[in-house]
Amino acid sequence: MNPQTRLHTETVFLEVSLAASRKKIYALRAAKEGKKQLAKLLSAIAVSEEAQAQRFLLQLRGQTGTSEENTRIAFTEEIPSLITQYETAAENAGQVEERGMHSAFSQSARVERMHIQLQKKLDTNPVKECSYHICSFCGFIMENRTPEKCPICTASSHRFKTL
Ligand SMILES: [Fe+2]
């Protein structure tokens, strides 16, 4: 892929993914306001934009490195950068006394740190298989079983998705 096309593809992927997420929020608001058809249209556009994002992601997939390189980038660059962003956001939210947001950002930072631990665990024993159970509220991942309550956000077991 031409470098300029690749840059456009990455940018469009990010933008359209964000746009799809926003449409879902707008749809919830429209539904809350009783605007049923508008909510449906916004939901349909969200699904459309997710499909577009998926299409560009598939184009980019061929451009990624080996799993070894991707793992290194994900766990030594991307995730640590995300943790730093969450920690900064948590600190700011704490300073302006937005407790709910402080808690959300702090929990996300913890969850991301745990992802690094999960990868280290996998790295030490790459052949051992396990299932992953993900809290749909905070993103906490538990191996092999669903907990009764999420240890991070206290969501109940039915909020967990199994992969
Ligand atoms: Fe959770």
The three-state secondary structure class of 161 is strand
Q: What does the pLDDT look like over 59-89, one tens digit per residue?
A: 887 767 888 998 999 999 999 999 999 999 9
What are the start-end ranges of the E strands in the chain?
132-135, 141-143, 160-162
Q: What does the pLDDT look like over 86-137, one tens digit per residue?
A: 999 999 999 999 999 999 999 999 999 999 999 999 999 888 899 999 999 9
* Range 103-131 burial, b when 16+ CB lie within 10 A, else e: ebbbbbbbbbebbeeeeeeeeeeeeeeee
**Spatial separation of the C-alpha atoms in residues 66 and 39, rounded to whole Å:** 41
| pLDDT range class, residue 43, cuts 50, 70, 90 | very high
User: What is the fold, at CATH topology level, of the domain defined by 129-163?
Assistant: Rubrerythrin, domain 2 (2.20.28)
The reported pTM is: 0.80
Q: Determine the distance separating the centroid of ligand 1 and the alpha carbon of 31, expressed in angstroms.
A: 26
Q: Determine the distance separating the centroid of ligand 1 and the alpha carbon of 96, expressed in angstroms.
A: 24
Element (H, E) at 77: none
Q: Determine the distance separating the centroid of ligand 1 and the alpha carbon of 135, expressed in angstroms.
A: 5
